[in-house]
Amino acid sequence: MWPWIRKPLQWLNQQQCVLISKVRVQQLHSSSSEFTDTCYNGLYPGHIPTTPIQRALLAVGSGVAALRDPYRHDMVAVLGETTGHLALINLRDRMRNDPEGYTILTERPRIRLSTLDLSKMASLPDGSFGREYLRFLEDNHVTPDSRADVKFVDNEELAYVMQRYREVHDLLHTLLGMPTNMLGEVAVKWFEAAQTGLPMCALGAVLGPLRLNASRLQSLFTSLGPWALQNGRRARCVLSIFYERRWEQNLEDLRQELNIEPPPVILSASNKRST
């Protein structure tokens, strides 16, 4: 780690620990009886309130850590929560104005292993959205349970919008046909930056290419990048799709419904962390 940033980051880590301790104390005092989600007196279970200064410090510290290691999903998560307020409002409003998106905001579905019927998904025909999503999870050795819960968003509904964004990220990989290697992740970030306006996505889209070699840079700038930006701008709001009710739908039909073109380049799921 760069010497000049080591001490500030250590202090930021200490501040985050203090914040987490504070919310645990609040939870313990929220009721004289056993703690449950229903008696929580904060905005939502796990919420850690922060001051503007604390949010700024968390944003800077998590941003530096995420730059050093884009696979630090915990730091990427904190960066998204502390910088995405305006973008989350816009996404929430787009969901409210879409009948399917409004239903999602009302019912609050979660995409976790506990909510997925993997056996049923495995029995779906090749080419169906559910079967291809399951294949993506298996080929790339990922799980929807790896997505961290939101902590630093100071609005309960916006916190759910951020949570939904995180949980549909792997579904976007499936829709876009992108694996989880660095080139695939950067292409998805370009799409997400154009689609969501989240600063975290824009930062990943700008800095992600720095970790690619020459041949992958050429592929990004000549084909994958323009395709991702164009489709991100024109596609229907990807948070407004009730994916849990679309598993049996043909993947190509779903892409057409969302106005997403198939990828111009087919990438392999091998060498996940290769750059």
Which residue positions form the known binding site for Zn(2+)? 169-170, 173, 185
User: 96-128 in b/e burial notation, b at 16+ Cβ within 10 A?
Assistant: eebeebeebbeeebebeeeebeeeebeebeeeb
Phi, psi of 138 (to 5 degrees): -70, -45
Amino acid identity, residue 152?
F
Q: Please enumerate, by residue number, every residue annotated as part of a binding site.
A: 169-170, 173, 185
What is the torsional sign of CA 191, 197, 201, 204? positive
| 108 torsion bin: left (phi>0), alpha (psi -120 to 50), beta (else) | left
Residue 153 and residue 49 in contact, taking contact as beta carbons nearer than 8 Å: no
